[in-house]
Amino acid sequence: MFQASYTSSKAIDQGASFENELNPVYANATRGLSLLDAKNRFVFSPVWQLPIPKKEGLAGKVANGWQLSAIITYQSGFPIRIQDQNDAELQSSIFFESTNTPYSTGPVQFVNPKTTPGNYWFNTSTFCDATGSSCPQQLGAFGNTAHALCCGPALSNTDLVIAKMTPIGEKLNTEFRAEFYNAWNHTQFENPDGNFSDSTFGQVLKARDPRVMQFAIKLLF
């Protein structure tokens, strides 16, 4: 048996958290994709009881009761929170307000962090603010970049379970489980640093967990 689901969605807001204060001059300037947005999500959960012919005696204890199950997930990446704490807009954003964003001089250019020196997810040379040189933004003006940039690394994950039920007499059962999280050991990056004020702006700094395995035996009575 199996269960499958697909979700297509779009979440828009003017700030995904309390720290995402709005532009006090023009609230709609911060309208954009929510940090919780996941455009596409597919989950497939199969359970397969292996069709091994039933055996008796010791052979049955070894061969009977095997089962495979999994949770397979494919999901679009989450939006990247973009912020600039250099206070180019002169609204004291360096203290608390963090949704003010840098100025974008052109379309975002995404790159492969595996092959780009510094593990960059996008080209940062198209971003600037009025605190730097040669930037079209003027001091006191807000950046033109949305508060969330679409999108970060996608998710491709398989969690796999191999289980075996072995009866002991009429009232007792044992269950052996071998569980593999991120079974294929895919490299799955977390969102890059979206803070323009950081020296690591645009860089992927973390990855989700590699393959993790655990084994267990249960006694059921």
Output the pLDDT for position 158. 96
| pLDDT for residue 98 is more than 60 | no
For 93, phi and psi rounded to 5 degrees?
Answer: -65, -20
Say how far apart CA 175 and CA 218 lie, in whole Å: 5
Comparing 50-54, 111-115, 160-164, which segment has the lowest mean pLDDT? 50-54
Say how far apart CA 101 and CA 206 lie, in whole Å: 23
Output the pLDDT for position 101. 85
Output the pLDDT for position 131. 84
Output the pLDDT for position 170. 78
Give residue-wise pLDDT tens across range 12-54: 887 766 566 666 667 677 788 888 899 999 999 999 998 888 8
Say how far apart CA 113 and CA 192 lie, in whole Å: 10
Token pair for 74: 């494919």
pTM of the predicted protein model: 0.78
Output the pLDDT for position 51. 87
Task: Count up the domains in the chain and report the number.
Answer: 1
Domain range holding 61?
2-220
For 98, phi and psi rounded to 5 degrees?
Answer: -120, 0
Spatial CA neighbour of 99 closest among 190, 38, 204, 24: 24
Do 177 and 215 touch, CB atoms closer than 8 A?
Answer: yes
Q: What is the mean pLDDT of residues 164-178?
A: 88
Give residue-wise pLDDT tens across range 180-202: 999 999 899 999 999 998 999 99
Output the pLDDT for position 17. 63
